Amino acid sequence: MLVIAHGIVGRADLPIPSELFGAAAAVVLVLSFLALASGWTRPRLEHLRERALLRLPLAVEVLCGAIGVAVFAVVVYAGLAGTSSQQDNLAPTAVYVGFWVAVPFLSLLIGDWFRLFNPWRAIGRATGWVAGRLSRGEGTEAFPYPERLGHWPAAAGILAFVICELCWATGREPQPLAILMLIYAFLMLAGQGIYGVEPWSRRGDAFGVWFGLFALLSPVGRRADGTLVLRPPVAAATRLAPGAGSVALLVIGIGSTGFDGAGEGPLFNGVRPDLQDFFTSLGATLAVGLELAYVVGLLVAIGMVGLLWRLGTEGMPRAGAHGLDRRGLSLAFAHTLIPIAAAYVVAHYFSLLAYNGQDLWRLASDPLGDGSDLFGGAGGSIDYSILTATAIWYAQTLALVGGHVAALVLAHDRALVVYGSPQAATRSQIVMLVLMVCFTCLGLWLLSAALNG
């Protein structure tokens, strides 16, 4: 993935220094905070106005699920039976670009479409339907999903995935990747078997939950009865039902994306050799030492984001109208991390999707890398001229600042609910403003370091 993701971005000819961008972004956040304090005096996002569009028939859900299962099967087969070259096998690009990057981007635009195509959910539902028919309604009941488990399985799944993506070289090779996909599918089916398809999909399926968070920012939503609705963008984030592990999931997502940027810059590369030497001195090989150095860097990045969040929630007064303690405040404001996570993902992976996303057509035409040309695109190549490095930088800046302004809006709106008066709400969010400025400047610095490194 390091090769796939990061060997493509040219040096940015930035029109003004990145430090100035950081300062300007901080000013924009402060001005946004002041605008909210003076003009946003009552909660507006807790009760969404939705406009119903149409109701998706069951047949469409079945068809989408079947497509999802078919794509999953093709990618696994390509990984197992195709060439071992990462560049010529469909599996690595399909997973790390088509799945991990493109799905969140699309979820931001058109809502939780992945839920329809989710292959594990589709298999689970089909299995449940068949089992129900065979047992004639006398099948065993699923266990109730434990509250204390919350989003922890999803958080663990995302952490495992980012370790495979960013730290473990073998996790980017087609065959091991295909095996990991099968293991993940097995774990999902086991979870569905124990706790039921829907409860597990909504809480335990790492990717279903992660992509679903991005979908909450989308202007397109879907009700439980299958009706598609239009709604204000970002506002549906207030519907997040946080529980155990929800904050951890978001912190892992933000921290890992931040580390993906830091891993290319001087900050991590300065200490990486020392970390590698430390692990090799303990007996690890050079390769394993390097991988462990990356794991340490990743965990430190996640820990730093967690610490920032802790400081942000510690800085909020406890004595709100709801009498929430620190954990209660952390959960009440957890949804404000969603646009930050989205901003980091869009900013960091925008260029990867624009460039390497093009390669999906070539790889789909020759999924095994054996010279076939199923769709006539096997001879295609990536057109790097579609975006300049400066254009990428502007898109990244816009995403980061926009995401953090959205987070400020969500936090202010929730603070009005928790603290009652606009004055108390504004005062409670001063530390959160500092936190947002930190996240924005950190993100811009990581991006500029990666771009100029």
Partner 1 sequence: MAAVGRAERIGRVLFFAHAGHWLVQLIYLVPLMVLVGVILVGRHRDKREAAHEQVRAERDE
| Residue 402 sits in the site that holds partner 1 (CB under 8 A) | yes
| Binder of partner 1 out of 1, 25, 206, 267 (CB under 8 A) | 25
The helix (H) or strand (E) run that includes residue 15 is: none
Chain-centre distance for alpha carbon 55? 27
Residue 250 or 399: the one with the smaller Cβ distance to partner 1 is: 399
Query: Which range touches partner 1 (CB under 8 A), out of 4-12, 22-30, 271-279, 315-323?
Result: 22-30
Residue 21 or 210: the one with the smaller Cβ distance to partner 1 is: 21
Looking at this protein, which amino acid is placed at residue 293? A
Distance spanning both ends of the chain, measured CA to CA: 18
Shortest CB 70 distance to partner 1, Å: 40
Residue 101: CB atoms within 10 Å: 21
Residue 42 or 327: the one with the smaller Cβ distance to partner 1 is: 42
- Joined tokens for residue 50: 């939705």
What mask of x and - would describe binding to partner 1 in positions 40 to 79, judged by CB under 8 A? x-x-x-----------------------------------
Which of the residues 409 through 448 are near partner 1 (CB under 8 A)?
A: 409
Burial 286-305 (b: 16+ CB within 10 A, else e): eebbbbbbbbbbbbbbbebb
Residue 49 or 326: the one with the smaller Cβ distance to partner 1 is: 49
Give the torsion through C-alpha atoms of 119, 123, 129, 131, to 10 deg.
-170
Shortest CB 10 distance to partner 1, Å: 18
For the sheet containing 220-222, what is the strand order?
A: 51-55, 227-230, 220-222
| Binder of partner 1 out of 35, 67, 149, 288 (CB under 8 A) | 35
Q: Determine the Cα–Cα distance for residues 197 and 141; give it in Å rounded to an integer.
A: 12
Assess contact for 96 and 5: CB atoms under 8 A. Answer: yes
| Residue 276 sits in the site that holds partner 1 (CB under 8 A) | no
Shortest CB 403 distance to partner 1, Å: 8
The helix (H) or strand (E) run that includes residue 357 is: none
| Binder of partner 1 out of 10, 17, 19, 31 (CB under 8 A) | 31
- Kindly list the residues in this chain that would bind partner 1 in the complex (CB under 8 A): 15-16, 21, 24-25, 28, 31-32, 35-36, 39-40, 42, 44, 394, 397-398, 401-402, 405-406, 409
